[in-house]
Structure formats: C-alpha cells, structure tokens
Amino acid sequence: MPQVPPTFFDALAVRTWCGLALRALGRAREEIDAINVYPVADGDTGTNLYLTVESAATAVEAVFAGYEAGAEPAGAPSLADAARAMAHGALIGARGNSGTILAQLLRGMAQVLAAEGETPHTDARGLRLALRHAADSARQAVAHPVEGTVLSVASAAADAADAAGGAGGAEGDCGTVARAAYRGACTALAATPRQLAVLERAGVVDAGGRGLVAVLAALVETFTGERPADSAAPVPGTENPPAHARVELGTADLCAAEETPGETGGPAFEVIYLLEAEDAAVARLRERLDALGDSLVVVGGDGLWNVHVHVDDAGAAVEAGVEAGRPYRIRITHFGVDDVHARGGERPPRERAQRAVVAVVPGEGLAGLYAEAGATPVLARPGEPPASGELVEAVRRAHAREVVLLPNDADLRHTAAAAAEQARTEGIRVALIPTRSAVQGIAALAVHQPDRRFDEDVVSMTSAAGATRYAEVTVAERQSWTMAGICQAGDVLGLVDGDVAVIGADVTATAETVLNRMLSAGGELVTLVLGDDAPEGIAEHLEARVREAYLAVDTVVYRGGRQGALLLIGVE
C-alpha cells in the first residue's frame, strides 16, 4: 500500500525529504557539474551538493536508528531532533562553495523547525518561516552576496512561499507552500544568466541554483507524493550547455602552477575546513579571510563552523583558522590556471587534464607545498585518517584521465588500493605508488613529468620514492616494547623506515642520531619537515651537522604544520 504523504512537517518528513533530495541530486549531478562555471569553473558543484546532502541524510538516519534500536526512549524522534541532525550532518559534510551555502540553508530551516522545542510537527506557516529564515541566513553567511547565484534562487523561493500564504498568512498546506517555493525557484533560476555575465557568456544557468531547484522538487514530492512534472527534464539553460561549459577541469600541472595568481584573474586555492571556535573569534576570522581572498562563506554556530574561501595563500587561510580556534578536516584544492581564467570569463576552460597527482599529507604546510606543485592534497590529521571514499572524491576532483595516488602512509595502503579500484570502475586510470611517508611523496613528486608516458612517469616516481629512506621523531604516549627496547611515556622516539631505532630524552639529540644512522649508508639530499611543536633551532642544528660531516649532501627544510610528528626526515 503506497505511503500517504504527510500533511505536516514532522521528523518523518525530514527523513523522507533528505532521501528524495539525495536521489534527485544523484540524477542531476552530472548535469549540474557540466554547467558549473561560477564562481570557479571546476565542474564539481553537482558532486559537492550530493555529498553535502548525503551527509545530512546519514545524520538523520542515525537519529531514527537510535530510536528503532531502542537506544533512545520509545517512540520516534521529534521534529527538532531530525531537523538538528539534518543541519549538523550538512554542516560537517559540506563541500565546495554551493555545498557550504546549502548547509546554511538547511541550518536556517532547522533553527525555525526546532524553535518550538519537542513539538511533533509544524504546519504550512512554519514551513514558510523556515524557508524565509534559510534564505536570509544563507545570504548573511556569504561575505559578498552576488545576484544570479543560489542565493537569488533561495530568496525567490522564500518570496514565493510567503505569497502562497495569502493575506492572512495561514492558508494552504505544506504541499502548497512547497510547490510555490519550487516554482519561484525555477523562475529565478531561469533568470540567473541575465543577472550574472559569466553565466550568460557560457549559455547556462547557475549550477548551485540548479541544485537547489532539485532539492525543492524533492520537498514537493515529500508533501504531495508526486515529483513536479518539469523537474525530470533539464531546467531551461541546462539542456545543451556549450562545449566549454560541459568539460571537466583539471588540476594545473607543475608548469601552470608557476604562473602568478594575479595574472589569472582569481585566487589559486580553495580552502575548506571545520572550525571549533567562539562567535567573537569567528567574527575576526571573517575579516581576516575577507582580506585574503574571495568567495568567503562561513556557516554554522554553537561553537562549530564550516569555513570556505578562495585564496592565493592557503597557509595563511589555515593559520587564520588556527588563531580563531581548532580547524580540522582541512581540504586545500589547487585551481588549474584555466579554472581561474574561466572565473572572469576571459577564455573557456581547457578540457580534462591528462594526468594529475593525488597525495595524502599529514599537515597544513605540506598540503600547501603539494598543492603548489600541482598535486591535489588530502589532509590527514593525527588520528583522523581519510576513508577510501574521501580518496575517491579527491581523485574525481583532480579531473584527470590518469591519476597517480600517493598514500604517504603504510597504514593507508589498503584504503588507497580500495579507492584506486573504485576510481578505475569510473574510467579513470589510476596508479598507486606505495609511499609510506610524506618525504617519499615529495621525492616522487619532484621527478613527476606529466608530459611523458604514464607508465614511464609512474616507474620514475616509484623509483624516486623507493630510493628515499624515511624517518620521524616523535614523543611516546605510553610505555611500550619497541625494536630499540622499552620506552616510557614522554620518551623521544626516532623511527627509521617505520621501526623505532632510537630512544632518547632530547629531541634535537635524538634527531641527530637518527640522521647520522641514515646517512651512514650514503645519501645526496636530506629533507627535513618540521612540525609545529619542533624545538626552535633544530633545523639549523641539523643543517650545520650535515654541512660539517657530509660535504656532498644538500639539505632542504619545509614547515609541515600540525603533522603529528615533531620532525620528518627523508634521505635520498
């Protein structure tokens, strides 16, 4: 027997809406990716919106699972429970500019839906208020709102929903309000090319707005049981986007990365992270990030925020987050030179890149270094290794026919292999180089040549990584048995090629001992990557030691940021 559509907006309606929205975005994802030309033509808006809603839907399902499993009191979750879960899931899973704005739209709705405490449902008036607050709060979250974007579509949807209430503001049901909001959004979406020149030149509508129309179509289906008749077909402006709007864009190669950002018409990096911080600190963060770049969106509240910005200095954007609170799940994406040109409409984007490198890195500093070299970095915080799905997403984001994957951690070998296998099923040629440390990845990236045959490039990179011994200096957290004996909590450990080789009391002395052992077998280049907690002067001390005792050996030093280890060492 078919399920009767809900009359009111309750927890089950939230659950149904999230599931239908996820399916709607799944159907429209490729179409939305293809028309993505603003703010950066990186061809991933549909994917980002899908992943954002997927996170929201997963959070709502977890709330229902708690009740169904008996972990919560008997009954069903309240509207407030489901709405808060939806908003929180979207916040922590938000991807890209449009995904971050969608997360704020859902958060704005949740603030209204949960305002009356544990009420089981709300009516048409509550839905109208939720849509209005969603549009207003999303606009406030964007540093410099631009008309002709998803913000315009959201405002038009809220206006249409308000009008559906009539003079008294109480007529109609939730289905009537949802239909009005959807129709208003469709009308506004069709008008976006007249509001934003880059859309008009490309002959497409706004991709983020197109995604919101799909989400609102799912809201109509939630309350009526019927998908809007015109939602199955492309919205005007998306049926036949011009070739330059359909291509997927690639990460810039090493040569492209050398061009100065100022010459390409926009910032070179997209930086996204979750941030635990107080409201006052976030207000200061907004001002600092606004001065650093553009496309700034900061959403969230109650101590948890999602930060999105486009900048030339990725490290400065992360540093600003560190000063404001605790940033984590940091993602830094390097825009190809053609991506940035396309932002201003100066010339159409190039086709999908032939080859790209995706690398897991342990700290913000190395993420910036890898990105500047043309790689797509995936940041792995201590205790928070990336899942295979995150690596698959990074491979897709690289927008290349061929991808070299550098896990840079022995423990990620199986995760990376699973990601590579999944990407291959999607038609991407992936080579996994089993790098066990970020310093091996640096060595591999140094010999990467995207213009030679794929197999030759992979062999060269694999050889360079394999010829690099790696070590790290860290502090023991607990007593344990090691290859070098029993260590106590607080001891300094020197690990060479993954095994504890030295147990000491002083960081600099232990590092010197490790370095001497590694160079006793020979070497031409020493790479030092300093963590934030490394002692002052340790790099200078080790560089001096190399100059004195190993005359033919060069040394390079990088700042790794909060990478877990105090020091990473590579010897080639």
Residue-by-residue DSSP string for 202-247: HT---HHHHHHHHHHHHHHHHHHSS--GGGSSPPTTSSS--HHHHS
**Integer angstrom CA distances of residue 228 from 161, 182, 351, 494:** 16, 9, 34, 63
Q: What is the pLDDT of residue 70?
A: 55
Q: What is the pLDDT of residue 346?
A: 42
Q: What is the pLDDT of residues 513-542, one digit of tens each?
A: 999 999 988 888 999 999 888 999 999 999
Measure the CA–CA gap between 380 and 572, rounded to whole angstroms.
24
Determine contact, residues 321/300, Cβ cutoff 8 Å.
no
Query: Which residue carries 């502090």 as its tokens?
Result: 475
Phi and psi at residue 377, to the nearest 5°: -85, 145
List strand residue ranges (DSSP E) for 102-227, in order: 121-122
DSSP state of 95: -
Q: What is the pLDDT of residues 390-408, one digit of tens each?
A: 888 889 888 888 999 999 9
For every residue of 401-468, DSSP letters joined together read: EEEEEE--SGGGHHHHHHHHHHHHHTT-EEEE----SHHHHHHHHHT--TTS-HHHHHHHHHHHHHT-
Taking Cα atoms as reference points, which of 422, 265, 438, 447 lies closest to residue 363?
Answer: 438
Taking Cα atoms as reference points, which of 177, 163, 160 lies closest to residue 8?
Answer: 177
Neighbour count for residue 117 (Cβ, 10 Å): 8
170, exposed or middle or buried, with CB in 10 Å at 0-12, 13-18, 19+? exposed
Q: What is the pLDDT of residue 249?
A: 26
- Give me 398's structure tokens: 């690289």
Name 1's Cβ contacts closer than 8 Å, sequence gap at least 6: none
Query: Which residue carries 């099923």 as its tokens?
Result: 425
Taking Cα atoms as reference points, which of 552, 556, 551 lies closest to residue 527?
Answer: 556
Query: Which residue carries 């199955």 as its tokens?
Result: 232
345's torsion region: left (phi>0), alpha (psi -120 to 50) or beta? left
Name 536's Cβ contacts closer than 8 Å, sequence gap at least 6: none
For residues 435-461, one letter each, b for 16 or more C-beta atoms within 10 angstroms of the residue's C-beta and e for the rest, the string is bbbbbbbbbbbbebebeeebeebbeeb
Determine contact, residues 76/15, Cβ cutoff 8 Å.
no
Measure the CA–CA gap between 234 and 102, rounded to whole angstroms.
20
The residues of the chain scoring below 50 in pLDDT are: 1-2, 167-170, 232-264, 337-350
- Give me 72's structure tokens: 């919560």
Q: What is the pLDDT of residue 90?
A: 93
**Integer angstrom CA distances of residue 408 from 3, 330, 472:** 50, 17, 13
Q: What is the pLDDT of residue 326?
A: 86
Determine contact, residues 396/362, Cβ cutoff 8 Å.
no
Name 363's Cβ contacts closer than 8 Å, sequence gap at least 6: 379, 529, 531, 532, 560, 561, 562, 563, 564
Q: What is the pLDDT of residue 552?
A: 83
